[in-house]
Amino acid sequence: MTVNQSEMHPSRWGDPDRARPLPDEARGLVEMVFGVDDRPAVEHPPLAPSTLSPDLVAALGAIVGAEHVRTDDETRRLRTRGKSTPDLLRARAGDLADAPDAVVRPGSHDEVAAVLALAVDHHLAVVPFGGGTSVTGGLVARREGFDAVLSLDLVRMKRLLAADHVSMTATLEPGLRGPEAEALLAAEGMTLGHFPQSFEYASIGGFAATRSSGQSSAGFGRFDSLVVGLTVATPQGRIDLGTAPANAAGPDLRQLFLGSEGTLGVITAVTVRVRPVPQVKAYEAWRWPSFAEGATAMRTLAQAGLLPTVLRLSDESESAINLADPAAIGSESSAGCLMVTGFEGEPAAVEAKRAAVTAVFERLGGVNAGTEPGEKWAHGRYDAPYLRDSLLDAGVLAETLETATFWSNLERLYTAVKAALENALGQPSLVLCHISHVYETGASLYFTIAAKESDDPLEQWRVAKAAASDAMLAAGATITHHHAVGTDHKPWFEREIGPVGVSILRAVKADLDPTGVLNPGVLIP
């Protein structure tokens, strides 16, 4: 596996060398639907000077090594915010007001703990940084009340600490990006099998801290379901969790830190379940007359215990725009909804599962669409965020949001959120949706929107996001299935967990981080 270690562009996604303008065919479609209004980004926005004193820079250097404390503009620029569309819109407009005052790169748990102790003593906000792929404002710490903001960049913590071939577990440091972790595990004949769209840049620590979910969740599960142990540095001390596959020793404290987004402690090691590297990977596609019928087929598989490794269903609009041949849009061949299935493992097991799934789908009225659409989707899996940048360059707002609910509520939720987005965005706009994470009891809905940018695209998206979020809660669904809370979801998160839930989180925060230096303003209502 090729390991990509390039830095992401401050105002774009991913590797700058992979950025491309819209292809002529796509640009023509955008011009027809939205009109093209070229909006170039400000390159190298200026930063305010660091407020960190030379004495504190030296003190941090004494902990991690002087070469691992950076206050130069370029390094600080690369550690500013995440990659939500609001994050990108601000950066593209030249606003990097949230830049940290210093980037500190510890190399061990003990160095992390020492940096936290210094931050407490000098009231410095600390933002743990893995891959920088947050899409909910999870890296935008509150600066008010703090003398400076540190980006705690975990990029040096990239070791495979242990590989247990008997128990099939592995212990990884948090700074490993997805490809780096998979390369280390592959050398042991293992795979984690966690492949979110952010895989190329997101980190092991970030997967845990946000309760990430990846494209293979149907077969392997969400990242939090793979975690069997954690080591965490907190201002109150070290905590090691996970001494057995399961226990009844009180509430599972791992769940305090899985999804905590760096607000309760810094994850310094993660022990995960792994599996052998699959001998075979096979993709194929199916067509369904409607989104509801495709969803019924997914539910049938989930409740029969027949889930493939990958299972993804696009609604009618997404099937036509994203997965069908653009030349066929509107034709009979692009009608209905496209489903992608993927099977991984030993050849005999793959063929047996594939045959069982085929029998269910044929009985329910699905039509096999061959292997090409599934292979095309798998091949371009990590390219979509680059398209978002190209659309922003052309004056088209593009963003995603997601939710989850029980099967009996899925159609109601889909209808409500889609209507809320369409009403808020107005015309011209597109609202697409797919299901890519399923359970016996329910599934997630992942929406993608595109709309002509207004004169104030930040406000445009704020209004649409608020309308969709209100619709989610009104329908009895969750505000997020796998994007986490950050700052963007906080008002709705408070409503979702209620006043008692809020008081519990605040109490835990007050006990573990009494001075509030860890990622202030994020997650905790």
Q: Read off the pLDDT of residues 200-216 as tens digits, 9 standing for 90 and up.
A: 999 999 999 999 999 99
- Alpha-carbon distance of 102 to 47, in angstroms, equals 12
pLDDT of residue 170: 98
Residue whose tokens read 């895989």? 199
Cα 478 versus chain centre, distance: 16
| Alpha-carbon distances of 439 from 254, 372, 407, rounded to whole Å | 22, 26, 9
Closest CA to 95 of 84, 79, 76, 80: 80
- Alpha-carbon distance of 212 to 150, in angstroms, equals 24
Alpha helices in 51-171 (DSSP H): 54-64, 73-78, 85-92, 109-122
pLDDT, average across residues 240-255: 94
In DSSP terms, 313 is beta-bridged to 339, 435
Q: How far apart are the first and last CA of the chain?
A: 41
Handedness of CA 53, 56, 62, 68 (dihedral sign): negative
Q: Read off the pLDDT of residues 91-138 as tens digits, 9 standing for 90 and up.
A: 999 999 999 999 999 999 999 999 999 999 999 999 999 999 999 999
- Where do the domains of the chain lie, and which CATH numbers do they carry? 37-153 (3.30.43.10), 160-276 (3.30.465.10), 280-379 (3.30.70.3450)
- Alpha-carbon distance of 211 to 217, in angstroms, equals 12
Q: At what angle do helices 291-304 and 347-364 cross, to 10 degrees?
A: 130
- Whether 323 has a pLDDT exceeding 90, the answer reads no
Task: Please tell me whether the peptide bond between 40 and the residue prior to it is cis, using omega within 30 degrees of 0.
Answer: no
pLDDT of residue 384: 85
Q: Read off the pLDDT of residues 30-67 as tens digits, 9 standing for 90 and up.
A: 888 888 888 888 888 889 999 999 999 999 999 999 99
- Whether 327 has a pLDDT exceeding 60, the answer reads no
Q: At what angle do helices 24-33 and 384-393 cross, to 10 degrees?
A: 60
pTM: 0.94
